[in-house]
A and B are shown apart, each in its own frame.
Chain A
Amino acid sequence: MSQFAIEVENLAKVYKRRGRAPVQAVDGMSFSVARGAIFGLLGPNGAGKTTLLKMLTTLLEPSSGRASVLGYDVETQPLEVRRRISVVIQETAVELFLSVRDNLLTFARFHGLDRATALRRADNVLERFQLIAEADRKAQDLSGGQRRRVQVGKIFMVETPVVFLDEFSTGMDPILKRAVMGLLREEATRGRTIVLTTQVLGEAEELCDDILIMNKGREIARGDLNALKLLSQNVYKIAMTFDRLPDGIREELAQTAPMRVEIDQNTIEVAYKEDEASVLEHVSRLARGRNVLRVELNGASLEDIFVELMKETHL
């Protein structure tokens, strides 16, 4: 038995469009995902994340290359793959005319759960996703956020060894999102492999053991957070809070060629890709003659790495 839950080899997808140039959505990707890992696929809009996920979940046929889930080929053994996965697609997907409880029970039925187990798990999911009051309401009467909760809740009805989530937190409030992230971590601890796509970098930073950054259908970086941080060595982030925002600070910062600048009231956040001594010089220069209330100097966050990598691949 392979130690990998997912193995991808030179996988490509070209969308052929009548009368227009074909689009290479995924361009020869190769990677593997360890069993029980939380694997994050990151990339800007149009990077190819969803297309890649669709191929892994048997929704799309690859144009070339191969991919397998738990040893089963997605193209030649799609049913075996589907028996081992549960998927949260990017679009909200619920049975509008069924109650919240029936949405969960119907999903369980497809996965072959007996009624008693399904009812017990449905109660559990309703509680965890704060849907008890909505249990008997039809999904069509719920808000968009509540529908998304029902959709994400479904994956906790079953015990498929691999779970795919395409931007699962869309429409979720921060408290629920945090709770769901906790649940996903629990599932991974129990041995389920979680594959998620996200554009919320903080989410990936907090959740993923293993991250793959892609752009234009190709891998541009891969590894755990520390490995990715190494890729972007010498990226530092300075946060300074002044008693009041200094005049002309934007222009002053622009002259120092930072990677990224954010100004919020009297606080500036600047990221540089320079050696440590030069960054300290920036700190010293920015502080000179000004009343600084707070200074923080940190290594690169995933967001900084992401911005840097995107620049390198000419986003």
Chain B
Amino acid sequence: MSALTAVMYREGKIRATNLTFIFWDLFFPLGYLLVFGVAMSSAMAGPFAGLGANYNAFFLAGVLGMASFGIASNTSWSFFLDRDNGIFYEMLTYPLSRAQYLLGKVLFNVFIAMLQAGVTLGLGAVLLGIRVHAALLPLLAAAVIGGTSGWFFFYAAFALRIRRNDVFNSVTSVFYFVFLFASSIFYPLDPLPAWLRRVALANPITWQVDVLRFATMGSGSWKQITLEGCAFIVFAVISFFAAVRILQHQE
């Protein structure tokens, strides 16, 4: 346990050295809702009327999913920074296992993601009138925790495997483009062309966002989100073992 708290202590210390980090960590999803969500809500009131909710209520799940994705991408960048500083290799000689190293990082990410979600839900309710189902808050928390972990392990596997940060930057850009836009983050899948809908349905971020959307606005069915939730857990577990394995073979 002390190894995990030591990793979290380190991450927290580094994040606390810069106010921009703290502001970004806490308010980035809310910022998306306030700008993109409000704009889309006004522009597309018609198409979303059929969902029985405004775009903000629909987008809340998307923004939380996007936040999990964003935290993972940002934290994975730190592997490159740590490698450049040499501290990455020194840390690998510290008394903790490779799995503990990754789990410590992910626990810190989960802590930030939960704070983000709390701020987004609270201020989203106050400023935009978005209501969520209180009874489903534990499911929402589980989707934030699972999503943040899964995406971190997924990104970490690439960040640990790729040695050049410019290559990782390109990979990240492609991931952002594909995962975020070919998914249910920004729009419902039903009106999409068949090929794009198929891609979106195979996208793990859709699985996570659909669970989040069920938890926030009750759309979808238990059967569907159980299936998607299980698929995401498999994705997260595979990513975790891939990341640990790659970390064990750093040369």
> Given the complex, which residues of B lie within 8 Å of A107, measured CB to CB?
94
CA distance A95 to B13 in the complex (A): 10
> Given the complex, which residues of B lie within 8 Å of A94, measured CB to CB?
85-87
Contact for A79 among B5, B89, B96, CB less than 8 A: B96
Stretch at the interface among A82-90, A178-186, A188-196, A265-273: A82-90
Output the least CB separation between B11 and chain A (Å): 10
CA distance A314 to B107 in the complex (A): 53
Q: From known contacts A58-B93, A110-B6, A111-B94, infer whether A93 and B85 are also in contact, taking CB-CB under 8 Å.
A: yes
Judge whether A110 and B86 touch: CB under 8 Å.
no
Judge whether A58 and B85 touch: CB under 8 Å.
no
Q: Which of the listed residues A58, A92, A97 has the most CB atoms from chain B within 10 Å of its own CB? A: A97
User: Who on chain B is nearest to A57 by CB?
Assistant: B93
> Given the complex, which residues of B lie within 8 Å of A83, measured CB to CB?
95
Judge whether B251 and A109 touch: CB under 8 Å.
no
Interface residue ranges of A147-184 to B (CB < 8 Å): 151, 164
Name the interface size band of chain A.
20 to 34
> Given the complex, which residues of A lie within 8 Å of B86, measured CB to CB?
89, 91-94
Interface presence of A145 (CB below 8 A): no
Q: Is the interface of B mostly helix, strand, loop or mixed?
A: helix
Interface residue ranges of A83-123 to B (CB < 8 Å): 83, 85-87, 89, 91-98, 102, 106-107, 109-112
Judge whether A111 and B13 touch: CB under 8 Å.
no
> Given the complex, which residues of A lie within 8 Å of B92, measured CB to CB?
58-59
Q: From known contacts A91-B86, A110-B3, infer whether A98 and B94 are also in contact, taking CB-CB under 8 Å.
A: no
Q: From known contacts A82-B94, A87-B93, infer whether A112 and B85 are also in contact, taking CB-CB under 8 Å.
A: no
User: Who on chain B is nearest to A58 by CB?
Assistant: B93
Interface presence of B97 (CB below 8 A): yes
Question: Could you list some 23 contacts between A and B, CB below 8 A?
Answer: A59-B93, A61-B248, A78-B97, A79-B97, A83-B95, A85-B93, A86-B93, A89-B86, A91-B89, A92-B86, A93-B85, A94-B85, A94-B87, A95-B10, A96-B87, A98-B13, A98-B14, A98-B17, A106-B10, A107-B94, A109-B6, A111-B94, A112-B6
A110-B95, A164-B93 known; 8 new pairs, CB 8 Å cut-off, are A15-B251, A59-B93, A82-B96, A91-B89, A94-B86, A95-B87, A98-B17, A106-B9
